[in-house]
Structure 1
Amino acid sequence: MTVQSIRLFGDPVLRTPADPVRTFDKELRQLVADLIDTMHEKEGAGLAAPQLGVGLRVFTFDIDDVVGHIANPVLEFTDEEEQEGPEGCLSIPGLYFDTKRRQNVIAKGFNEYGDPLQIVGTGLMARCLQHETDHLDGVLFLDRLEGETKRAAMKAVREAEWFNPDAPPVIKLSPSELHGTIR
């Protein structure tokens, strides 16, 4: 078991788009194992490589006892149906806010060996696939919040024990400016 430290809100790696995985080798398989071990240790539903400080497009998930991973995911939305519900993040520990996401999504990418992979997600799995893909694009779920909810979230971040005011975070202003937004 190799549990790694999780990067927290304010760390620039969380705002940097990750590079595509180009080499599907033993090192990638070790990264996937580290992501799974860390995700389970921290009781998360998903964990992206940038959250461990690794700028590669790969993440893991554990939703309804389905544990998996995907590298270089591309999301396709099968319809316009939306969901809204509580969302949190291991890089923003202890804070949860209602976040709008698409209800249904298909993620296409590759497994740790470079074999094509497709994950069909609905409900919580769809939320996780979108959340973790956002991490790979340098986007946090806080960026998807609006109005009073966003103000309350930022106040909660500033008051959190783990927040470092010496490393001011970058907040994106509008979800409509983000890659992969709900349309």
Structure 2
Amino acid sequence: MPNKLKIITQPNPILRKKSVKIDFKNIDAIKFRQLASALLNTMLKADGAGLAAPQIGQNIRLIAINTQNGSFCLINPKITKKSWAKIWDSEGCLSVPGVYGKVRRHKKITCSYLTENGQPKSITAEGLLARVIQHEIDHLDGILFIDKARNIEKQKTE
């Protein structure tokens, strides 16, 4: 598997499909690790804050997140707790290049997920990290940020 994969862009129909849960009993562990690694590398080379498997043509519940403390994958991520408070902030997306808009998201979330070894974990995030996780989980459900955004603007190219 190549180190960097092609990022699929809107209107590709895979971006609108609900992704399937990953079952560790029925996957090839080596191929899966290669895919997870390629997802991370693709995100980093594109200078992304996050990337979801559907964005590289894989209809599975896998996301990559880039934080100040490093990057990692979340398998079968599920938001288990959300703050009452929500905030509007600007978002963009590697699958909708050159488009930005304000999206209202929960200020703080807790997300359960599995590691690449199948171990259950949980992360509590707020601010930008919470926003990125919510954005990437939306991808797993066939939702793009433009579906929720207001004040959508296209970046002008010269």
The normalised TM-score by structure 1 is 0.78
Name the one with the larger strand percent. Answer: 2
Counterpart of 2:51 in structure 1 is 47
Assess if the C-alpha contact under 8 Å between 1:36 and 1:60 holds in 2: yes
Counterpart of 2:126 in structure 1 is 122
Aligned pair in 2 of structure 1 residues 42, 138: CA closer, same or farther (>3 Å)? Answer: same
C-alpha distance in 2 between matches for 1:35 and 1:66: 14
In structure 2, the residue corresponding to 1:77 is in which secondary structure? strand
Letter in 2 for 1:138: G
The normalised TM-score by structure 2 is 0.90
- Give identity over the alignment, percent: 33
Give, in angstroms, the shift of residue 69 of structure 1.
Answer: 1.1
Give, in angstroms, the shift of residue 68 of structure 1.
Answer: 1.3
Counterpart of 1:164 in structure 2 is none
1:7 corresponds to 2:8:
yes
Q: 1:59 aligns with which of 51, 63, 71?
A: 63
Assess if the C-alpha contact under 8 Å between 2:82 and 2:106 holds in 1: no
Instruction: Give 4+ residue runs of structure 1 displaced > 6 Å after superposition.
Output: none
**What per-residue deviation string (whole Å, max 9, x for no partner) do you get for residues 96-124 of structure 1?**
21111000011101011111011111000
C-alpha distance in 2 between matches for 1:66 and 1:121: 14
In structure 2, the residue corresponding to 1:98 is in which secondary structure? strand
Q: 1:108 aligns with which of 107, 112, 123?
A: 112
Letter in 2 for 1:68: F
CA root-mean-square deviation:
1.8
Q: 1:141 aligns with which of 141, 145, 150?
A: 145
Counterpart of 1:181 in structure 2 is none
Counterpart of 1:95 in structure 2 is 99
Assess if the C-alpha contact under 8 Å between 1:63 and 1:125 holds in 2: yes
C-alpha distance in 1 between matches for 2:54 and 2:138: 11
Assess if the C-alpha contact under 8 Å between 2:114 and 2:121 holds in 1: yes
Assess if the C-alpha contact under 8 Å between 1:63 and 1:124 holds in 2: no
Question: Structure 1 unaligned runs (5+)?
Answer: 161-183
Aligned length: 153
1:80 corresponds to 2:84:
yes
Question: Structure 2 unaligned runs (5+)?
Answer: none
